[in-house]
């Protein structure tokens, strides 16, 4: 089990950090910046870290909390988030607790008691606690290792989630001058960054600004036509995967959710106009994988820590790039491939303009227009989407081909516009790079204006060279050249076009340039990100179902049991022993002990049913070497394990109770129940009455049928604990075996 009294000696430090990473979290290596942040906290230095969503911020404070003496206090803005975070920490065996306004006095005093006795490594609290003198007194008398402020941008009025309560956090460095403070956020703008540091009063913090590149996200833009059908088509290639669909208006949210439900997709709506209970119920259902899809306005945002969101669809034009980045950022937190799809139609532009024109403040209107221009540019330019997004945050993406967007993967049709680019640039060059786009387009199209005549530009060679195309076309070529960095525009209020070095190459014919074909073709469906690794999808379905069953029993979201990434790895490596399971990323000691057996068993059953599958050799051998019993992970062993169900079956047939079978065979009751489920699914014949009494079974069956869902918790709650989870589980399996889906 875990050792919390590890002393940090400089020479042992490395091994202590690495050891904890492996045994508690089950990870082999750190993500970028995690290690240096952890070291700073361990050295008791303040930290300010900007890391993208999914960058792994939680681990940066959870790991030092384990190694340091005392309790780490984590300030987190949302109650729902807090509970999930505590569940996740507990699942890794870290003693944790939260304190917020949803708790009664007895619960609060219980937490205080544990705090005083130094029984909590991680205490999550809401910021408003810092306005309570009593709470501060309690903290002062406890031993606090450090403070971590999550979602720290909430302290800034410049940010999008300002929360006045966060301002009270500036008390922390004043009241606890010797305790380090680490602040974390995913908000990228520099203005917010400066604001956070000064408002909290961090003391020469170690500052980290991570790259905003989310390598596992695939970005794609498709031309929008009948968007609900397009969504349906997309879902058809992403069966069973969790995803978010963003729409601009509440009406559109309701319509799309209803439409999808009418097509048998479990989709729930979320917008600020729904009653609070509905919103949290829908969010909860999504979190727990009970609803596949949530259709939402941008009100759905912070507070989703769900790591297995596999796609984010924008069915309407996003308001601005920053928002688009944050919204798509909710996909693929677990680091596994995820798809960000934007349906772009020019018809959306007037709708946005309408709102902008209604703004009374001229400056605001100007900014909104600029943002609209950027978003339209993102969707319509022939430039790597990733490059554009990162460029927006002032980060230069170094590679020519990112391999993770529709442009770079060549799924968008391109046309060569080199000749037209040369015509436009030749006009710019021959007029001395002193004019704006309008004037140049006039020259190229051979327009007769007095200004052109006065300056003698009707006599240059390119005058009228492009008169077979209209002005609109030449404007679009100009926009394209600006977007691709071939031209730059300088000067205010009369911007003048200049040719860059890249442009010179094109002008002199040493380089070519292409643009998106205007009538966009439908892109090839289902193309996955370049480094998406193959995994066994059938096994994944089984493991996912197992994960959901366990999550229901434990009343936590499924991704807290194991992430999609962990399940994918199991579906590549097929661990057949507990020690092989331990090598899988995300499987630490606590999870191995709690869930290892169930997942190994499910994998073995699957292998037994599919003998043609070959287990990666090196992995199997390595696992066998490490296995105490030194059993070879070969076909014979698999068969032997497959036979373990048969043993249960034989004992059942012999009239033994499940408890006795578990005891006799040294298995957990849950494993034996999983055998029974398996036997039922196989349609095997045995006396079920002996496992669940007929009267009880009938009661449970009626409940399931009337509730029209098979949630185990609701069933157990409904009968006030007079039936067990195991009984509900078995009855459910029996029902499902009678009515296969």
Q: How many residues bind ligand ADP (CB under 6 A)?
A: 19
Contact criterion met (CB below 8 Å) for 570 and 602 = no
Q: Which residue, 556, 543, 553, is CA-closest to 584? A: 543
Q: Please say which residue, 57 or 568, places its beta carbon nearer to Mg ion.
A: 57
Q: How far is the CB of 34 from Mg ion (least distance, A)?
A: 13
Residue 631 interacting with ligand ADP (CB under 6 A): no
The answer for 721, left when phi > 0, alpha when psi is -120 to 50, beta otherwise, is left
Which of ligand ADP, Zn ion, Mg ion, none does residue 386 bind to, with CB < 5 to 8 Å depending on kind?
Zn ion
Q: Please say which residue, 58 or 256, places its beta carbon nearer to ligand ADP.
A: 58
Q: How far apart are CA 416 and CA 483, in angstroms?
A: 16
Residue 31 interacting with ligand ADP (CB under 6 A): yes
Q: How far is the CB of 516 from ligand ADP (least distance, A)?
A: 32
Which of Zn ion, Mg ion, ligand ADP, none does residue 563 bind to, with CB < 5 to 8 Å depending on kind?
ligand ADP
Which of Mg ion, Zn ion, ligand ADP, none does residue 579 bind to, with CB < 5 to 8 Å depending on kind?
none
Residue 76 interacting with ligand ADP (CB under 6 A): no
CA 538 from chain centre, in angstroms, equals 23
Q: Within 13 A of 405's CA, how many CA atoms are on the CB side?
A: 23
Which of Zn ion, Mg ion, ligand ADP, none does residue 334 bind to, with CB < 5 to 8 Å depending on kind?
ligand ADP
Q: Give Cβ neighbours of residue 34 (< 8 Å, ≥ 6 apart).
A: 56, 59, 60, 63
Site for ligand ADP in 463-492 (CB under 6 A): none
Q: Please say which residue, 587 or 676, places its beta carbon nearer to ligand ADP.
A: 587
Q: How many residues bind Zn ion (CB under 5 A)?
A: 5
Owner of token pair 């300088």: 490
In the chain, what is the straight-line distance between the N-terminal and C-terminal CA atoms, in Å? 41
Which of Zn ion, ligand ADP, Mg ion, none does residue 120 bind to, with CB < 5 to 8 Å depending on kind?
none
Q: Please say which residue, 156 or 637, places its beta carbon nearer to Mg ion.
A: 156
Q: Please say which residue, 307 or 648, places its beta carbon nearer to ligand ADP.
A: 307
| Bridge partner list, 343 | 222
Q: Please say which residue, 224 or 306, places its beta carbon nearer to ligand ADP.
A: 306
Tokens describing residue 693: 């009494």
| Exposure letters 326-345 (e unless 16+ CB within 10 A, then b) | bbbbbbbbbbbbbbbbbbbe
Q: Please say which residue, 49 or 408, places its beta carbon nearer to ligand ADP.
A: 49
* Residue whose C-beta lies closest to ligand ADP: 56
Residue 697 interacting with Zn ion (CB under 5 A): no
* Residues contributing to the site for Mg ion (CB under 5 A): 57
Q: How far is the CB of 407 from Mg ion (least distance, A)?
A: 30
Q: What is the DSSP string of 191-202?
A: HHHHHHHHHHT-
Tokens describing residue 120: 């909590």
Q: How far apart are CA 380 and CA 483, in angstroms?
A: 10
Q: Please say which residue, 63 or 608, places its beta carbon nearer to ligand ADP.
A: 63
* The three-state (H, E, C) secondary structure of 254-303, written as one string: HHHHHHHHHCCCCEEEECCCCCHHHHHHHHHHHHCCCCCEEEECCCCECE
| Beta pairing class for 414-416 and 514-516 | antiparallel
Contact window for ligand ADP (CB under 6 A) among 24-32, 74-82, 153-161, 644-652 = 24-32
Q: How far apart are CA 45 and CA 27, in angstroms?
A: 25
Site for Zn ion in 647-686 (CB under 5 A): none
Q: Please say which residue, 98 or 463, places its beta carbon nearer to Mg ion.
A: 98
Residue 57 interacting with ligand ADP (CB under 6 A): yes
Q: Please say which residue, 15 or 357, places its beta carbon nearer to ligand ADP.
A: 15
Q: How far apart are CA 245 and CA 230, in angstroms?
A: 12
What mask, x for binding ligand ADP by CB under 6 A, covers residues 195 to 234?
----------------------------------------
Q: How far is the CB of 244 from Mg ion (least distance, A)?
A: 17
Residue 51 interacting with ligand ADP (CB under 6 A): yes
Tokens describing residue 183: 């602040």
The burial of 273, by beta-carbon neighbours within 10 Å (0-12 exposed, 13-18 middle, 19 or more buried), is given as middle
Contact window for ligand ADP (CB under 6 A) among 38-46, 173-181, 240-248, 333-341 = 333-341
**Crossing angle, helix 537-554 and helix 725-738, to 10 degrees?**
140
Q: How far is the CB of 55 from ligand ADP (least distance, A)?
A: 4
Q: Please say which residue, 155 or 633, places its beta carbon nearer to ligand ADP.
A: 155
Q: How far apart are CA 24 and CA 30, in angstroms?
A: 13
Site for ligand ADP in 264-323 (CB under 6 A): 305, 307
Choose which of 20, 46, 47, 54 interacts with ligand ADP (CB under 6 A): 54
Distance set, CA 135 to CA 78, 102, 163 (Å): 18, 16, 20
Q: How far is the CB of 413 from Zn ion (least distance, A)?
A: 16
Q: Please say which residue, 56 or 404, places its beta carbon nearer to ligand ADP.
A: 56
* Residue whose C-beta lies closest to Mg ion: 57
What mask, x for binding ligand ADP by CB under 6 A, covers residues 586 to 625?
----------------------------------------
Q: What is the DSSP string of 57-79?
A: HHHHHHHHHHHSSSEEEEE-S-H
Residue 58 interacting with ligand ADP (CB under 6 A): yes
Q: Which residue, 131, 127, 123, is CA-closest to 153? A: 127
Residue 608 interacting with Zn ion (CB under 5 A): no
Site for Zn ion in 382-421 (CB under 5 A): 384, 386, 402, 405, 408
Choose which of 16, 20, 27, 271 interacts with ligand ADP (CB under 6 A): 27
Which of ligand ADP, Zn ion, Mg ion, none does residue 243 bind to, with CB < 5 to 8 Å depending on kind?
none
| Bridge partner list, 344 | 223
What is the three-class DSSP state of 568?
helix
Contact criterion met (CB below 8 Å) for 325 and 54 = no
**Is it true that the peptide bond before 493 is cis, omega within 30 degrees of 0?**
yes
Tokens describing residue 216: 């596992």
Residue 59 interacting with ligand ADP (CB under 6 A): yes
Contact criterion met (CB below 8 Å) for 308 and 560 = no
Q: Which residue, 574, 560, 637, 467, is CA-closest to 83? A: 560
Choose which of 17, 24, 30, 78 interacts with ligand ADP (CB under 6 A): 30
Q: Please say which residue, 49 or 507, places its beta carbon nearer to ligand ADP.
A: 49
What is the three-class DSSP state of 222?
strand
Q: How far is the CB of 564 from ligand ADP (least distance, A)?
A: 9
Distance set, CA 150 to CA 34, 61, 74, 204 (Å): 15, 10, 7, 19
Q: How far is the CB of 622 from ligand ADP (least distance, A)?
A: 20
Choose which of 20, 53, 328, 523 interacts with ligand ADP (CB under 6 A): 53
Q: How far is the CB of 387 from Zn ion (least distance, A)?
A: 6
Instruction: Mark out the alpha helices in 523-563 (DSSP H runs).
Output: 537-554, 558-561
Residues at the site binding Zn ion, with contacts judged by CB under 5 A = 384, 386, 402, 405, 408
Residues at the site binding ligand ADP, with contacts judged by CB under 6 A = 27, 30-31, 34, 51, 53-59, 305, 307, 333-335, 563, 585
């Amino acid at each position: 089990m875990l050792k919390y009294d590890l002393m940090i000696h400089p020479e042992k430090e490395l091994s202590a950090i690495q050891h904890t990473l492996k045994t508690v979290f089950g990870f082999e290596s750190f993500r970028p910046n995690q290690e240096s942040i952890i070291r700073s906290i361990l050295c008791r230095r303040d930290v300010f870290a900007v890391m993208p969503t999914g960058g792994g911020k939680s681990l940066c404070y959870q790991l030092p909390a384990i190694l340091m003496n005392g309790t780490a206090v984590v300030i987190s803005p949302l109650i729902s988030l807090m509970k999930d975070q505590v569940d996740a920490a507990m699942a890794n065996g870290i003693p944790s607790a939260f304190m917020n306004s949803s708790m009664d006095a007895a619960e609060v005093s219980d937490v205080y008691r544990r705090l005083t006795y130094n029984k909590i490594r991680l205490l999550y609290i809401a910021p408003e606690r810092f306005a309570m003198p009593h709470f501060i007194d309690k903290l002062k008398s406890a031993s606090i290792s450090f403070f971590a402020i999550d979602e720290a941008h909430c302290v800034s009025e410049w940010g999008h989630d300002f929360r006045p309560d966060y301002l009270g956090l500036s008390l922390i460095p004043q009241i606890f001058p010797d305790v380090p403070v680490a602040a974390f956020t995913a908000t990228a703008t520099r203005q917010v960054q400066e604001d956070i540091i000064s408002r909290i009063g961090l003391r020469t913090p170690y500052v980290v600004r991570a790259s905003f590149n989310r390598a596992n996200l695939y970005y794609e833009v498709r031309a929008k036509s009948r968007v609900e059908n397009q969504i349906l088509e997309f879902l058809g290639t992403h069966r069973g995967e969790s995803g978010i669909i963003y729409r601009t208006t509440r009406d559109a949210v309701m319509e799309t959710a209803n439409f999808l439900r009418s097509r048998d997709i479990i989709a729930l709506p979320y917008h600020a106009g729904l009653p609070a209970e509905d919103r949290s119920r829908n969010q909860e259902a999504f979190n727990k994988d009970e609803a596949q899809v949530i259709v939402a306005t941008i009100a759905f945002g912070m507070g989703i820590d769900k790591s297995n969101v596999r796609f984010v669809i924008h069915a309407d034009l996003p308001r601005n790039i920053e928002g688009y980045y944050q919204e798509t950022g909710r996909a693929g937190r677990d680091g596994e491939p995820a798809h960000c799809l934007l349906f772009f139609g020019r018809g959306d532009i007037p709708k946005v303009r309408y709102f902008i024109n209604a703004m009374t403040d001229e400056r605001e209107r100007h900014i909104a227009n600029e943002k609209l221009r950027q978003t339209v540019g993102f969707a319509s330019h022939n430039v790597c989407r990733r490059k554009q997004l990162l460029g927006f945050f002032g980060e230069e993406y170094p590679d020519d081909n990112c391999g993770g967007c529709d442009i770079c993967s060549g799924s968008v049709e391109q046309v060569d516009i080199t000749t037209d680019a040369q015509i436009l640039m030749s006009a710019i060059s021959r007029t001395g790079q002193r004019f704006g786009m309008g004037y140049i387009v006039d020259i190229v199209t051979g327009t007769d204006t007095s200004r052109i005549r006065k300056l003698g530009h009707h006599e240059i060679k390119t005058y009228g060279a492009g008169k077979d195309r209209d002005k609109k076309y030449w404007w679009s070529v100009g926009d394209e050249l600006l977007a691709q960095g071939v031209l730059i525009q300088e000067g205010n209020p009369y911007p003048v076009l200049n040719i860059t070095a890249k442009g010179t190459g094109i002008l002199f014919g040493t380089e070519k340039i292409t643009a998106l074909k205007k009538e966009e073709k439908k892109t090839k469906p289902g193309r996955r990100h370049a480094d998406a690794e193959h995994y066994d999808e059938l096994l994944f379905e089984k493991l996912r179902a197992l994960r959901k069953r366990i999550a229901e029993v434990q009343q936590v979201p499924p991704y807290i049991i194991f992430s999609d990434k962990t399940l994918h790895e199991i579906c590549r490596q097929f661990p057949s022993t507990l020690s092989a399971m331990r090598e899988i990323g995300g499987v630490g000691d606590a999870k191995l002990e709690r869930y290892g057996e169930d997942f190994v068993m499910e994998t073995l059953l699957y292998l037994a049913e599919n003998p043609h599958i070959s287990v990666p050799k090196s992995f199997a051998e390595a696992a066998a070497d490490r296995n105490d019993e030194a059993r070879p992970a070969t076909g014979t062993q698999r068969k032997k394990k497959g036979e373990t169900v048969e043993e249960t079956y034989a004992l059942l047939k012999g009239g033994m109770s499940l408890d006795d079978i578990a005891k006799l065979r040294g298995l957990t009751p849950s494993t034996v129940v999983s055998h029974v489920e398996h036997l039922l699914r196989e349609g095997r014949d045995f006396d079920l009455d002996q496992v669940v009494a007929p009267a009880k079974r009938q009661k449970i069956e009626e409940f399931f049928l009337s509730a029209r869902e098979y949630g185990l918790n609701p069933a157990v709650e409904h009968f006030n604990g007079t039936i067990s989870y195991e009984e509900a589980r078995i009855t459910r399996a029996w029902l499902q075996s009678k009515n296969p889906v």
